[in-house]
Amino acid sequence: MDRARLSFVGGTITISALPSEAWQAVLATANPTWDSRINAWRCDAIDYMTLRRRLHAEGCIVEDTVPHWQTVTWPSVQLPRMRPEQVQAISAWEELRRGVVVMPTGTGKTEVALAIMRRQAISTLIVAPVRDLMYQWHRRIRESLGYDAGIIGDNIFRVLPVAVTTYDSACIHMDKLGANFGLIVFDECHHLPGPMRRDAARMSAAPCRLGLTATPERSDGLHADLDALIGPRVYELPLADVRGRTLANYEVIRIPVHLSQEEQAFYDRLSAQVRAFVCRRRKLEPVFSWDALCGQAANDPEARQVLRAYWKKKSIEDRAQEKLRVLEDIFRLHAGCPCLIFAGSNAMARDVSRRFLIPCLLNHCGKKERHEVLTGLAEGRYPALVANQVLDEGVDLPEVKVAVVIGGTGSIKQAKQRLGRILRRAGNAAATLYEVVCADTNEERRSRSRRGSDAYQGTRHRQLG
Amino acid sequence: MLTRELAIASLDKGQVVPDRLTRIKHARYPEYAERMLALYRKGVGKTRQELHRGVHDIFRDEPECPLRRIAAFAKLLDDVSVFDRAGFGQAADLRCQVFRRAAVCHPLVLEPDRQFDHAEAEVKAQIAREMGQSWEEIDRQLFADVMEFHCLQEFTGYPNPQALLARYNVAQVQAALFDGVSLTVWAEQDFKVILRYAKLARLMHTIQRAESGYVFHFDGPASVLRQTRRYGVAMAQFLPALLACQAWRMHALVRVRGRWNASLDLSAADGLTSHLPVPEEFDSQVEEDFAHQWGTDSRSGWNLIREGEVLHAGQKVFVPDFVFRHEDGRKVLLEIVGFWTPEYLEAKLKTLRTFAGQNILVAVAAGNEKRGDGFAPDAIRFKKRLRIKDVLQRLESKP
């Protein structure tokens, strides 16, 4: 009898010499496609296990060259004792060894993943949303399992049996690496179902898959695809269950600031410029819209100026001097208590850093500096830290009780994640989130949209001044 | 290459039309290009932010220019620039030092009082004294590693304004191809170059004979499973090689807003200029001499055609140097093997074995056989030049 040969090629599985008596059955399950370019059948790497099982059930002898994963021994394991909900999550996942675990930020998702890695002891790839998180996983794996993991991303390509990467790198390189890992962990897995990014799951042959997230829902509805890409939702711990128990209580305080006289004058002048232009255009075309303005900027220097005026307005809101004064008040109020500041732009983050001489974590920071800054804050060497969006998700910052949002977009998910940052489990002291927004500007509108999030519901809102 | 964010293209009856500068519609652009090149040539020591502002200023009064086009020019200029990377680690060290010194004084306040007595200005002056620099100097260096503040070190540049404008036009077609789902090329010549560069870009091919020449269909492994943009970047990388060739046309399917497909059609007649040189007509002097010696007429009924046949088996291809066609319909291929490294000869032998079923005549440079090159005994051996007489004699003995 012929041996069916399975190979991993460019993120797909090719099947050659498939015995005729088996292929009907195989066609029905794994749905391979005939590829005349290579004279073989082909299917997505993600279908590898289904295919393998089907061939086995048909009694086919298979020459399987796909798996390049191996058994891993952990040099030194140092994991904390799991809490009951973590134990539940682990055993729920182990029933299928595929699936998504939903747990709020700060409830020990990372530990769940590390415990699963330890028990599976197989080549593992961790996929994280951003570089910071990738490095954080690298550190956690070294601390908890004693393994110096490989890094794929940030201009590094060090492939080891256990490695960390980002979604973007995973998507680019999975057609080469898809057979190297038996377990693939998608951290903040709501990022996975994007039209291109899903290749990170589709082009991997890993039989074991774990997704971790606090916020599985996506506004485009694509989270439904996580079932196919990772596995079913095997465990879910709602936010309300843990508040006040493992997470700190929190309070949201909104502080409106006003533009300085000069800023306001400039702001008003820019507003008038934009308004006048739009009014004039509306006389010609009653439905003149923002899109039309962007379009006209192509062949009208005035429209281009107006577009610039609009961006300048945003920049004035974002970098209002008054925000720095309010920040000083907050620092005074919480002296001796580590603070996290989220800025709306890199420029504002640098303004804050220069004014108060506190570290800022931006995209250009190298691995060494990130580590120095983050551990420095944790160990009390630095009093505060300012960042833009790089700290949005999952970056571990122990015991931060005060966070200040001084800008940012109005997305609900961002608010939830930013709030998650200060909900660290430690002591009884209540956490406080300040939101500093410019009054009488578009920023106020964005703040209102932010507070529409269910993450804020049930929190107390206060206004100062 | 540009990034996706800098792509400008419009849709016209299902056709993707990438932004293109033309001599008539964009008569002022050569002057802008000249000024941009001058800005960068004289810009050594300036920050990226200053240079980009300068580029924007050049277009200040131009009525016909989207912001993206300006940003695209800045990107193309940056692509051929070297920015100073020396100070990168230094800025991080400086930050670390400054922030550590300041940490004990946190918070730096504007108006000190009994509880918080660290005035911002005083702390900064103190740190500056301790570090033996002025505060202005420290402040300037503090974020010198941020992308916008990188300083231009060297501009290798484009030779002239036309080259920059030509590069822009090609770059916009490439950017449109980033969303390419499949690419079909009809070619009458230069098959070797086309296939070599497609392979370099890691594209897979399907090859069909056309009325004159060949049709090449390029995509990637997963393309057979679904329409995917995954190989669009590879298609964009391949494009300049195709543009350098002659007598071709191409048709790409491009995904638009992730939902439907549009066409991108292009041909040698469109006049896009590649930065790559036009392919050499011949791979070697021996080939060139042989072709010239043979001339354009038939000899003993045999006609000579250069690179006329593409042999392919799965994803392996072989384009022999010449094809001989006899008036009675016989066809013999000729491959000329120069004096080369053992690895090259080994690869050549492997290729010849793959296509052993074909009627291929091999001419091998003398000297190789001393190293035991393993070519068949019926191979033609030649010294400096391949003689027509030897080839004709062997052609007649082929079936």
Q: Report the largest interatomic distance among the alpha carbons of chain B, rounded to a whole angstrom.
A: 109
pLDDT at A3: 73
What sign does the dihedral A372-A336-B136-A315 (CA atoms) show? positive
Residue A456's pLDDT band (cuts 50, 70, 90): very low
Looking at the fold, whether A203 and A337 belong to one and the same domain comes out as no
Residue A269 lies in a domain: yes
Among B225, B228, B316, B317, the residue to mutate for chain A (most A Cβ within 10 A): B225
Percent pLDDT > 70 in chain B is: 97
Under CATH, what is the fold of the domain B285-397? Trna Endonuclease; Chain: A, domain 1 (3.40.1350)
Residue A392 has pLDDT above 80, yes or no: no
Residue A294 has pLDDT above 80, yes or no: no
pLDDT at B40: 97
State the CATH number of the domain containing residue A191.
3.40.50.300
pLDDT at A390: 52
Q: What's the structural domain count of chain A?
A: 4
Q: pLDDT tens for residues A424-440?
A: 544 445 677 788 888 76
- Where in the sequence of chain B do the CATH 3.40.1350 domains occur? 285-397
Q: pLDDT tens for residues A395-422?
A: 666 567 788 888 765 544 555 555 555 5
Q: Which of B235, B242, B326, B322 shows the shortest CA–CA distance to B286?
A: B322
> Which of A153-157, A236-240, B70-74 has the highest mean predicted lDDT (pLDDT)?
B70-74
Mean pLDDT of B92-114: 89
Residue A344 lies in a domain: yes
Residue B48 has pLDDT above 50, yes or no: yes
C-beta of residue B251 within 8 angstroms of C-beta of residue B210: no
Q: pLDDT tens for residues A155-210?
A: 899 999 999 999 999 999 999 999 999 999 999 999 999 888 999 999 999 999 99
The DSSP result for A171-214, as a single string, is HHHHHHHTTS-SEEEEETGGGTTSTTTTHHHHT---SEEEEEES
Looking at the fold, whether A156 and A236 belong to one and the same domain comes out as yes
Find the angle CA(B8)-CA(A297)-CA(A272) to the nearest 5 degrees. Answer: 150
User: In angstroms, rounded to a whole number, what is the distance separating the alpha carbons of residues A31 and B55?
Assistant: 53
Looking at the fold, whether A300 and A350 belong to one and the same domain comes out as no
Contact B146 A304 (CB under 8 A): no
Residue A74 lies in a domain: no
Mean pLDDT of A100-112: 88
Contact B221 A304 (CB under 8 A): no
Contact B106 A331 (CB under 8 A): yes
User: In angstroms, rounded to a whole number, what is the distance separating the alpha carbons of residues A303 and A293?
Assistant: 6
- Where in the sequence of chain B do the CATH 3.30.70 domains occur? 178-270
User: In angstroms, rounded to a whole number, what is the distance separating the alpha carbons of residues A431 and B235?
Assistant: 52
CATH architecture assignment, domain B178-270: 2-Layer Sandwich (3.30)
Residue A25's pLDDT band (cuts 50, 70, 90): confident
Mean pLDDT of B33-61: 94
pLDDT at A311: 83
Residue A120 lies in a domain: yes
Mean pLDDT of B385-398: 86
Looking at the fold, whether A296 and A336 belong to one and the same domain comes out as no
pLDDT at B384: 83
Chain B residue whose CA is closest to A336? B106
pTM comes to: 0.83
Looking at the fold, whether A232 and A157 belong to one and the same domain comes out as yes
Q: How far is CA A245 from CA A241, A242, A436, B217, B367, in A?
A: 8, 5, 28, 61, 84
Looking at the fold, whether A229 and A254 belong to one and the same domain comes out as no
Looking at the fold, whether A146 and A130 belong to one and the same domain comes out as yes
Looking at the fold, whether A343 and A440 belong to one and the same domain comes out as yes
pLDDT at A187: 94
Q: Which of B65, B143, B315 sits opposite A298 (nearest CB)?
A: B65
Contact B67 A307 (CB under 8 A): yes
Looking at the fold, whether A109 and A47 belong to one and the same domain comes out as no
C-beta of residue B72 within 8 angstroms of C-beta of residue A352: no
Residue A465 has pLDDT above 50, yes or no: no
Residue A87 has pLDDT above 90, yes or no: yes
Looking at the fold, whether A168 and A269 belong to one and the same domain comes out as no
Looking at the fold, whether A148 and A181 belong to one and the same domain comes out as yes
Residues of chain A with C-beta less than 8 angstroms from the C-beta of B102: 356-358
Domain, as residue range, for A306: 261-318
C-beta of residue A221 within 8 angstroms of C-beta of residue A24: no
Residues of chain A with C-beta less than 8 angstroms from the C-beta of B139: 354
Looking at the fold, whether A88 and A230 belong to one and the same domain comes out as yes
Contact B142 A354 (CB under 8 A): yes
